[in-house]
Structure 1
């Protein structure tokens, strides 16, 4: 009666949409920074967005303050930029980079300062290399400030980001405008 039916056989498991192998639970602020760097290297949007505040677990929303140079060229950056915009520009960046070429994000002159027990400020200089094949710049540099918070799961995330251009290279904000 059931001879042609495979109702009771197991199937191979499906692979998840994106590999989270290099994502670590952000139980320390420094892990958020490592996850951010790894999300670029791995070109992993899910891991990138996971570095930012989730309003399901803390009463804070995400705020981005772009560099003034970026705002003068890309005014939309200063108009309620949110996590959907972060996702959109990040997907655009990774779509333009060949599969076997890593995106490199490095930080220097890093500092952490506590605002309270559950919030802190991280500041650093950054350098970002995007090895794409278009005519747009490949290198971006500047200074950033991340305000981070520990949520009700005891995970840290970024809820405030201020970007400043600090060299002749375009800033991260300008990269967001270019690749949006």
Structure 2
């Protein structure tokens, strides 16, 4: 049997050795800084949206949309009659499914390119607006079965402001010519 002073010192010695089990290290630098800016104006919302698409930032992408009641309306020709059910109730969940699957098929260092031009804003009141613009979206994804790299069309966003922040309540994709449209990417990647 151990002498009493040693038995009393043993737990104290164990406590002194405990910090050696945990090595402190410098925190790792953040690879993706938070690029989100409170969208108190339509310009800031569109900047957040474009940056999220380009950098494939799913958290910021999701923040651009009204959580419930958001709807996406595909280009009718690109959606086709066989995909009517796919787009019938397209909401934020489907947006995130498509976006995350696209992100999984994009190299970590790659970025998409989204250009908006010929933008027109229509204010319907202090808390409601519609933005229409021509877009060119170039995807950096690696899925060889998806045959479109660049998509072009017209994007129409119905915006709502709540608590002084703008969000996308509805999105309509429209073809402007023979080029593939964003609907093609959503249709393809939501299923993969």
From 149, 152, 160, the counterpart of 2:170: 160
Aligned-residue Cα RMSD (Å) equals 2.3
Q: How many residues align?
A: 173
Are positions 1:24 and 2:37 aligned together? yes
From 41, 60, 63, the counterpart of 1:50: 63
Deviation at 1:88, TM superposition (A): 0.7
What SS does the aligned partner of 2:52 have? helix
Which piece of structure 1 moves more, 73-82 or 106-115?
A: 73-82
Unaligned 5+ segments in structure 1 are: 56-60
Deviation at 1:68, TM superposition (A): 0.2
- The normalised TM-score by structure 2 is 0.81
Unaligned 5+ segments in structure 2 are: 1-11
Q: How does 1:1-180 map to 2 (within 5 A)?
A: 1=12, 2-6=15-19, 19-55=32-68, 61-72=69-80, 73-133=82-142, 134-136=144-146, 137-152=148-163, 154-180=164-190
> Which residue matches 2:5?
none
What SS does the aligned partner of 1:26 have? coil
Say if 1:53 and 1:157, in contact at 8 Å, map to a contact too: yes
Structure that is richer in helix per residue: 2
Which deviations, in whole Å up to 9, do the C-alpha atoms of 1:48-101 show, x marking residues without a partner? 11111135xxxxx10111110132153234221111110010111121122222
- The normalised TM-score by structure 1 is 0.86
Which deviations, in whole Å up to 9, do the C-alpha atoms of 1:136-171 show, x marking residues without a partner? 21111111110111112x111000111111121211
Deviation at 1:28, TM superposition (A): 0.6
Work out which of the two has the higher radius of gyration on C-alpha atoms and give 1 or 2: 2
> Which residue matches 1:58?
none
